[in-house]
């Protein structure tokens, strides 16, 4: 946290020190008997809580505009309450802005900025919830969760696909399955290393999730192969969604962690609709179509070369 947010922490520490120095310069330390210890405990406690909130917030957030707003809001609240605390030990001329004006300005300003930051945080959380919904139940079924991407694994896919098939047949709705496989992922692994391949798989997961509807389910079927269950979806729509996912991935400019090189990926897809198939038969059919797509891509590349 300290390394990531060092400038923000330095700014808060610097402003706090400036407040102490100015207070000492324009005021006088109160005599022991004039200090109200109950106020010190109360106001010191509020200041300490504001500092803790700031610490918790920075510890749980990446850098970015929402974090900046939250830091500014909590920072203002902290400095405002800290100034309040200083007032209890340093007597400052009542006519000075530092004595009353600063306290009564910083706290409301901090609360206003914090409210604005919390509003954006709330919006950000809604987006994450939306993405998480597409991983349905995975968070309650850790045994069937893929450790790298957080998606359901192949066993989870089979189980959910069987349930979706039953639901589709009971409600006489179509159901589709799309398999996606990254092209030449082995070469990417060999060139940039397995850890970079892992990061790429994680980022591609996010891209796919962002391009799905809230009812769709994404699973990691195997190594570089993903599966999407598309409820209430016919063949045409499934083909369209597969094409959208291919486009989204082709346009994604992945940056490697080491050198920041840009990598572009393509995928091959195989779709299949339910009709009278079982979950296993659907996976087999989609796999056959995926391999056919890979074959025709390879043949086209040979012709082009």
Binding site for ligand GTP (CB under 6 A): 148, 181-186, 189, 194, 197-198, 201, 223-224, 294
3-state secondary structure 61-73: CCCCHHHHHHHHH
**C-beta closer to ligand GTP: residue 87 or 146:** 146
CB of 202 to ligand GTP, least distance (A): 10
Query: What's the distance, Cα to Cα, between the start and end of the chain in Å?
Result: 51
**C-beta closer to ligand GTP: residue 99 or 189:** 189
**C-beta closer to ligand GTP: residue 136 or 224:** 224
Paired residues of 272 in beta bridges: 177
CB of 172 to ligand GTP, least distance (A): 36
Name the phi and psi angles at 251, rounded to 5.
Answer: -90, -5
**C-beta closer to ligand GTP: residue 172 or 259:** 259
CB of 146 to ligand GTP, least distance (A): 8
| 10-37 as b/e: b if 16+ CB within 10 A | eebeeebeebeebbeeebeeeeeeeeee
**C-beta closer to ligand GTP: residue 185 or 277:** 185
Supply the DSSP symbol for 30: P
**C-beta closer to ligand GTP: residue 62 or 147:** 147
Closest CA to 92 of 21, 43, 42: 21
CB of 204 to ligand GTP, least distance (A): 11
Structure tokens that stand for 63 in this block:
């850098």
CB of 226 to ligand GTP, least distance (A): 12
CB of 207 to ligand GTP, least distance (A): 16
Closest CA to 47 of 10, 20, 21: 20
Longest dimension (CA), the chain: 93
């Amino acid at each position: 946290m300290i390394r990531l947010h060092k400038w923000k922490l330095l700014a808060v520490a610097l402003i706090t020190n400036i407040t102490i120095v100015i207070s000492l310069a324009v005021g006088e330390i109160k005599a022991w008997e004039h200090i109200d210890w109950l106020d010190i405990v109360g106001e010191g406690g509020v200041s300490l809580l504001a500092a803790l909130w700031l610490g918790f917030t920075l510890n749980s957030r990446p850098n970015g505009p929402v974090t900046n707003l939250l830091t500014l809001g909590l920072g203002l609240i902290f400095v405002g309450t800290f100034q309040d605390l200083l007032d209890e030990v340093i007597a400052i001329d009542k006519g000075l802005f530092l004595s009353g004006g600063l306290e009564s300005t910083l706290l409301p300003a901090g609360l206003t900025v914090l409210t604005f930051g919390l509003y954006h945080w709330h919006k950000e959380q809604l987006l994450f919830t939306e993405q998480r919904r597409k991983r349905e139940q995975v968070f309650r079924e850790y045994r069937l969760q893929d450790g790298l991407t957080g998606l359901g694994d192949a066993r989870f896919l089979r189980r959910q696909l069987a349930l979706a098939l039953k639901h589709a047949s009971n409600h006489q709705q179509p159901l589709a399955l799309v398999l996606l496989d990254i092209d030449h992922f082995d070469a990417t692994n060999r060139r940039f290393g397995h850890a970079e391949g892992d990061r790429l798989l994680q980022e591609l997961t996010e891209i796919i999730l962002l391009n799905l509807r809230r009812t769709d389910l994404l699973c990691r079927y195997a190594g570089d192969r993903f599966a999407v269950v598309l409820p209430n979806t016919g063949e045409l729509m499934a083909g369209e969604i597969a094409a959208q996912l291919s486009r989204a991935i082709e346009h994604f400019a992945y940056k490697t962690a080491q050198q920041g090189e840009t990598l572009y990926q393509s995928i091959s897809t195989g779709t299949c609709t339910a009709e009278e198939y079982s979950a296993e038969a659907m996976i087999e059919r989609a796999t056959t179509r995926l391999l056919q797509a890979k074959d025709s891509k390879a043949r086209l590349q040979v012709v082009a070369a």
